[in-house]
Amino acid sequence: MDGLRVINIDRGDVGQRLDLVLQRHLRHVTAASRTRIQKWIEGGLVAVNQIPATRPSRRTAAGDIVSIAVPAAATRAVMAAEELRLEVIYEDDHLLAIDKPAGMVVHPTYRHPRGTLMNALLWRARDWPADTRPSLVGRLDRLTSGVVIAAKSRTMHAALQRVLSSPRSEKQYLAVVYGRVNVARGTLEAHLSRSRRKRRTVVTDAVSGSHSQTLFERLRRIKASPIGAALLCCRLLTGRTHQIRVHLASRGWPIVGDSKYGEPLWAKIDDVELAGVLREFPRQALHAWRISFSHPVTGQSVTCEAPPPGDFQKLLVDAKLQR
C-alpha cells in the first residue's frame, strides 16, 4: 500500500488536526495508525501545498492540498521465544503482571533484538491456546524497574487499554530526586512532545504538545546540603512518554541517575559519603511499584505491587531515605 497519496481538503476537514484528517482519509491503509501517521508527518513524508508539514497538530484550511509519501511496508521480523526468567506478580486466564528488572528492554528493537520482556513472554506463552498471544499494555524504559501488564489476547489488550487509561485506575512510581521538595504533595502539569532535534527526547511544548498530569507526594527528604534530595511517590494521571522524568526535571527535581533529563548534582553536595552514594547509582532512580485497576472481565479490583529491587533499596538505606 506504499506510494503517493493526494488529499484535497474540503469543508468537512477545515480546522481539523492534520494527523486526524489523514487518519480518516487513509483508514483503508493498514499501516496508517494515528501513531504511524504522526511519525510520517514528523519525518517529512507529508506536505501541505508542497511545503513539508512537521507538526501533527497543524490545522487544515479549505483548498489545502495534502500529499503523503506512504512508505513501503517493511518486512517485520518474527519475534523469537526465549527462555528467560520472569518474575510474575499476578496471572489469570486473561492477563498477567510482571516485575520487570532494570536493564531489560520491554520490546525487541534494532539495538536489542533479543533478551527482551516480549521474548520471555512468548516463551511463557508457548503452550497457551492457539487464539492467545501476549501483548504489552504500556511500557517501561529499559532502566526503569517495576510492574508491567500484559494481555493474553487482542480483545483483552483493547479492554485493558481502556481500563488503565481510566481515572479509576492507579499507576504509582517511586522516585529519588535531587532538589528541595518543600511541599508535601502537589500536581505537575505540562504539554509534552518529541524534541525536533533529539527524537528520543521529550520536551515541554506549550504550542503543539499533549497535555500531561502527574500527582506527587513527598515520602521522605534529606538536607543533602546545599542541593537537597527526596523520595517521592508519583501517580500518573496521563501516560505520556518519559512523563515523570520530564515533569520532575522541569520542576527542578531531576531524578537521581537520569542522564537524559538530569545532571550530576551529586558533585555539588557537601557530604562526601552521600555524594558518593548518589554518584554510584547506575540508572535513573525510578520504580513502577503499584498498579491497581478493575478487572475487565470479572469487575473485581486487582492490585499488583513490585517491591523496590535491591539496588533501589540500597540507595534508600545508604542515603537515609527509607520509607
pLDDT digits (tens, 9 = 90+) for 65-93: 888 887 766 555 678 999 999 999 999 99
Are 92 and 139 in the same domain? yes
Lowest mean pLDDT among 1-10, 70-79, 190-199, 245-254: 70-79
280 and 179 within one domain: yes
pLDDT score at 184? 97
226 shares its domain with 245: yes
Residue 136 · residue 104 · CB < 8 Å: no
217 against 7, higher pLDDT: 217
218-242 pLDDT per residue, tens? 999 999 999 999 999 999 999 899 9
Mark whether 183 and 280 lie in a shared domain.
Answer: yes
User: Which is the catalytic residue, given 141, 258, 270, 318?
Assistant: 141
3-state helix, strand, coil in the chain (%, to 5): 20, 30, 50
Q: Does 314 reside within a domain?
A: no
Name which residue leads in pLDDT, 275 or 195.
Answer: 275
| pLDDT of 73 | 60
Are 113 and 138 part of one and the same domain?
yes
Residue 77 confidence (pLDDT)? 61
- Segment among 7-21, 147-161, 306-320 with least mean pLDDT: 7-21
Residue 13 pLDDT more than 90?
A: no
How large is the average pLDDT for residues 136-157? 95
Whether 11 and 45 map to the same domain: the answer is yes
In this structure, what are the phi and psi dihedrals at residue 126, rounded to the nearest 5 degrees? -60, -25
List the one residue out of 141, 134, 139, 129 whose CA is nearest residue 119: 134
Dump pLDDT digits (tens) for 96-107: 999 999 999 999
Tell whether 207 is covered by a domain. Answer: yes
Catalytic (active site) residue 99: no
The whole-number average pLDDT for the span 168-185 is 96
Identify whether 312 is part of a domain: no
Please report which confidence band the pLDDT of residue 149 belongs to, taking 50, 70 and 90 as the band edges: very high
Number of domains in the chain: 3
Please check whether residue 277 is in contact with residue 318, taking contact to mean a CB–CB distance below 8 angstroms: yes
pLDDT tens figures, 276-323: 999 999 999 999 999 999 999 999 999 999 999 999 999 999 999 976
Give the residue, 193 or 315, on which the prediction is more confident: 315
In a domain, 305, yes or no: no
Pair (215, 236) in one structural domain: yes
- 254 and 137 together in one domain: no
Residues 296 and 174 in one domain: yes
Q: Establish if 316 belongs to a structural domain.
A: no
- Out of 25, 41, 70, pick the residue that ends a domain: 70
Asked whether residue 95 is domain-assigned, the answer is: yes
pLDDT at 109: 83
Q: What is the CATH number for 201?
A: 3.30.2350.10
Q: Which residue has the cell 535513573?
A: 284
Find the CATH number of the domain harbouring 32: 3.10.290.10
* Domain-ending residue, one of 134, 164, 194: 164
Q: Could you tell me if residue 76 is inside a domain?
A: no
Task: Give 146's pLDDT tier (boundaries 50, 70, 90).
Answer: very high
Arithmetic mean of pLDDT, 112-139: 93
Instruction: Categorize the per-residue pLDDT at 145 as very low, low, confident or very high, splitting at 50, 70 and 90.
Output: very high
> What's residue 2's pLDDT?
60
Is residue 157 domain-shared with residue 176, that is, in the same domain? no
Q: Among the three residues 133, 164, 195, which one is the final residue of a domain in this structure? A: 164
Domain that holds residue 40: 3-70
Q: What CA–CA distance (Å, rounded) separates 217 from 207? A: 29
Full 3-state SS string of 148-215: EEEECCHHHHHHHHHHHCCCCCEEEEEEEEECCCCCCEEEEEEEEEECCCCCCCEEECCCCCEEEEEE
What's the pLDDT at 30?
63
**180 and 124 share a domain?**
no
Round to the nearest angstrom and report the end-to-end CA distance of the chain: 55
322/124: higher pLDDT: 124
Predicted confidence (pLDDT) at residue 259 exceeds the cutoff of 90: yes
Residue 323 lies in a domain: no
Q: Are residues 125 and 200 in the same domain?
A: no
